[in-house]
Each structure stands twice: as structure tokens, then as C-alpha cells.
Amino acid sequence: MESRSLPSAGAVRLTEIDWPRFDPAPNPPALEVAELDARLVRTREAMRARGLTHLIVFGDREHFANLAWLTNLDPRFEEAMCILGFDRDPLLVVGNECESYLPISPLYVAGRLRAERYQPFSLLDQPRDASRTLDDIFRAEGISKASMVGCVGYKYYGDPARIDLPSYLIDALRLIAGASQVVCATDLFMHAEYGLRARCSAWEIAYFEYNNWKASEAMRRVHFALREGITDHQLLEEARYDGTPLNCHITCKTGPNRISLASPRGDVVEKGYPWSANIAYWGSNICRAGWVAESDADLPEAARDYLVAFAKPYFAAMAAWLEHLRIGVTGDELYQLVQTMLPFEAFGVFLNPGHLIHLDEWLSAPVYEGSTIAVASGMVFQSDVIPSSKRYFSSRMEDGYAVADAGLRQEIQERFPACAARCEARRLFLRDTLGINVADEVLPLSNMCGIVPPYLLNPRQVMRII
């Protein structure tokens, strides 16, 4: 990659472009048993290294990602858990309504995943008369005083005794195995440095690229439909949501009483007010923020230097962030880069300037002050750097970027050539049109990567580095 000094706000110019069109991604890649088998192998290797005899992976409708990664089943109405040992195929324990959903798992269809109904997982007042007790289920899976049981929820807290699974599950396990023999193991899946989901396979990257493609095309339509007088509900109709699973709520906010993270509520788009929206399918979150304006003249008087004082410095910082996103760079280096280019007093970047994304919108983050975690092949990043100002509102360039070494890029090229071609076309667009020299190992997953129109009523006018 070409070496040069950091992009600066003075090097940012507005340019008029036709947004690029990339080849379509009509269908997601098919999930095969071999992909899930590889995940089971990696999981058992991690269990063995931790000294675990069993792993309990719990999920519910909101916190589904670890369970779905392991089995491809995401609970729809109720809780579910997978019990994994070394001597038998995994056991997936579900409630009444997830039984009919079991064929979503290629492992189950192939006879490689056992299943059992545990009705207390079901919703209130549903039948409860046809399932074994938890004690019977756990003991039948070989859990005893000789076991070391790891529990996977969706957070970990630094103390292995603090476990975020429901207490009735943990109580049952501790009575059978002993309190000291039941520990939190969520980090095995989610830790930014060694978590199983922190290093994505070629299939996962191809799947996330498909969802980034779809979400960014939806956001493109929203941008070009945005106009005065349209309501937020009408605007999001342009996204043409088709039922693809979401990893967080779709949002759209504008007007004088805008509330962060709010869903549409019928507000009317008016010139001179801030606007933001996001569309997030599994493995993606396309987010943009700016002003409903054609130029600085449409902004509140105190914010009429928005472009020079806020938007251009933000774009320069994001260009530098993208140019530094490469294998071996530490999280602290990326953190310090953002802190230097976007001082907190002016830009208010509070959350981690970049994090990992997966089936869940926020997996974990290697980017924080003092982080020695290095960017590694297989990481999929969300360029989630959120500036905030009472005077200037915000700007945003949130998209997905995979990091892949030569071997992983070659595998993607061989197995998913259309995905590889789209990523390369986006990389060349960033370099040749927007002046952002991303490394070869960075695969832009979104069709909107790098596109930031500061004035939303003029979406073809975007920023670039000269």
C-alpha cells in the first residue's frame, strides 16, 4: 500500500459523483454442514484448552448469536440451549415452538444434532406436561461432580463465577456439579482477541458481504428519496424491507425533538434539522447522519461552519482510520489516531472508535485505549466512530470491513468469486474516486463504503481526499 502522511481536513474536498453501482448479490451463500462441523471442532478445541468437559450455550430472541453461530438456530419466541460435550453429538434443547424450526440447522437435518423439548422454555401458559426435568437432562448428558461446565451467555464480567444465564439453569448445574465447577465461558466465543466468532471464515465474510450489500442498497434508496415534507415512515418505505433478520432496530430520526436510537414515529423531514438512520441485517449496520440541507446556508446560524469545522475533519479521520486498518496494527493505535484527529472536546467520541460486528451488531471491540490486541485476518470491523456535538450534531460513515490475509482472500476468491469481485471494486472506488488508500487486505463489504454526503438534500455531493 502507498505510504503517505495522515489525511487532513484541509485535504478534504466536496465532489459531485454518481454513486457507484456494483454487481448484484442475489442470494446469500448456502450454509453447509462442513461449515458448522468446523465450528464444532474449533469449539471443542477451545473447551479442551480451558479444561471444560461440557459447554452450555444459551440463547433467547435478543441474545441469539452464540447459539446461532454454533447450530444455525436463532430462538424466535423462547429460550434455547445447546449442550456440548466430547462423546456425543450436541443436544439442542428447545421449547414448544422452536421444535418446528429445528430443520433450519443443517446439522439437525444431517442427523448430527440431537434435539429435545424442554417446555419451561416456552411462553407462559403453554403446555408444560411433556418434558424431562433440567436435572434429568443435564445428568443424562454426563454432567456430574467430575465435570467442569462452561456457560455461554452474551456477556462476561472478569469473574468466572458471574454468569448471565438464568439463575434456574445455573442453580441446577451447580447442584449437580458443584459451584466451583460451573464457570462463565462466554469469552471463548466473544473475546476480541481469541473469541471463536472474532475470526470469521470465508463463508461468514461472504454472508456478511451479502447482508452489507443489501442493507447499503436500502440506505441508498432512502438517501435519494429524502426530501422536505416526507415522513420518516414514508422514507423508510423506500428501504423495501423484505424480512431479512435484523441485528438491531432500524432507526430514522429527524426534526426538533429528535431522540437518539428512536424508531420512526411519523415526524416530517424539514430543512435545517439533523437526520440520521440505520439499517442493520445480520453482520451489517449501515448508518449515516447529517443535516437536511443543500448547503451551510440551510443550517442553524451557529452551525453554518459545519462542513469546515466538523464534517471535513471527521471524514479525514475516517480516511486515516481506514488507511491504518491492516493486519498487525493494535487497537490502541487506532484509538489514539481518532483521539488525535478528533479531540474529545470538539467531537465527543465516547464509545470505542471501531468494533467487531457479527450476527450481533456489536460482538466486542479490540479498539480501546491501551489495547494490545492486533488487527488479525478474519476480523470483520464496523467503522463505528460516532462524533457528537450540541452545535454541529454529527456525521457518520458506518459500514462493514473484513480483514483478510492473502490465504483467506484466495479462499474467498475461489469459493465466492462474485463477492471477491465486489469487494475489489469497492476498494478501487475508495482509492480512485474518494482518495482513500485502503490496504489490499481490507475488504469493503458495503456499497456505501466511504460515501458521506454532508448535505442530505444534495446526496451526489460527497467528500473525498485530494
pLDDT in tens, 45-101: 999 999 999 999 999 999 999 999 999 999 999 999 999 999 999 999 999 999 999
Q: How many residues does the chain have?
A: 466
Residue 357 within any structural domain of the chain = yes
The answer to whether the beta carbons of residues 428 and 436 sit under 8 Å apart is: no
Take residue 76 and report the three cell numbers written for it. Answer: 424466535
Do 102 and 234 belong together in one domain? Answer: no
> In the listed set 184, 218, 236, which residue is the last one of a domain according to the structure?
184
> In the listed set 150, 184, 218, which residue is the last one of a domain according to the structure?
184
The answer to whether the beta carbons of residues 210 and 419 sit under 8 Å apart is: yes
Do 91 and 234 belong together in one domain? Answer: no
Residue 190 within any structural domain of the chain = no
Amino acid at 117: R
Do 213 and 177 belong together in one domain? Answer: no
The answer to whether the beta carbons of residues 234 and 277 sit under 8 Å apart is: no
Do 20 and 61 belong together in one domain? Answer: no
- Among the listed residues 209, 215, 197, the one whose alpha carbon sits nearest the alpha carbon of residue 402: 209
Residue 39 within any structural domain of the chain = no
Do 385 and 298 belong together in one domain? Answer: yes
Percent helix, strand and coil across the chain, each rounded to 5?
A: 35, 15, 50
Say yes or no to pLDDT of 340 above 60.
Answer: yes
| Rounded Cα–Cα distance for residues 316 and 389 (Å) | 17
Prediction pTM value: 0.97
Number of domains in the chain: 2
Do 376 and 446 belong together in one domain? Answer: yes
Q: List pLDDT tens digits, range 8-31.
A: 888 999 999 999 999 999 999 999
Do 253 and 338 belong together in one domain? Answer: yes
CATH number of the domain residue 150 falls in: 3.40.350.10
Do 374 and 299 belong together in one domain? Answer: yes
The answer to whether the beta carbons of residues 254 and 292 sit under 8 Å apart is: yes
Q: List pLDDT tens digits, range 395-435.
A: 999 999 999 999 999 999 999 999 999 999 999 999 999 99
C-alpha distances (whole Å) from 424 to each of 169, 216, 329, 382 are: 47, 17, 22, 18
> In the listed set 184, 205, 231, which residue is the last one of a domain according to the structure?
184
Take residue 393 and report the three cell numbers written for it. Answer: 450534531
CATH number of the domain residue 375 falls in: 3.90.230.10
Do 212 and 152 belong together in one domain? Answer: no
The answer to whether the beta carbons of residues 219 and 288 sit under 8 Å apart is: yes
Residue 46 within any structural domain of the chain = no
Say yes or no to pLDDT of 256 above 90.
Answer: no
Do 401 and 290 belong together in one domain? Answer: yes
The answer to whether the beta carbons of residues 59 and 77 sit under 8 Å apart is: no
Q: List pLDDT tens digits, range 167-176.
A: 999 999 999 9
C-alpha distances (whole Å) from 453 to each of 62, 279, 369, 401 are: 33, 17, 30, 20
Place of cell 473475546: 191
Phi, psi for 8 (deg, rounded to 5): -120, 165
What is the pLDDT averaged over residues 134-138? 98
| Rounded Cα–Cα distance for residues 240 and 217 (Å) | 10
Do 24 and 146 belong together in one domain? Answer: no
Structural domain including 174 reads: 53-184
Residue 384 within any structural domain of the chain = yes
Residue 1 within any structural domain of the chain = no
Alpha-carbon torsion angle 103, 108, 111, 112, nearest 10: 170
- Among the listed residues 226, 231, 233, 283, the one whose alpha carbon sits nearest the alpha carbon of residue 263: 233
Take residue 141 and report the three cell numbers written for it. Answer: 448428558
| Rounded Cα–Cα distance for residues 186 and 162 (Å) | 11
Do 86 and 24 belong together in one domain? Answer: no
Residue 38 within any structural domain of the chain = no
The answer to whether the beta carbons of residues 274 and 356 sit under 8 Å apart is: no
Residue 92 within any structural domain of the chain = yes
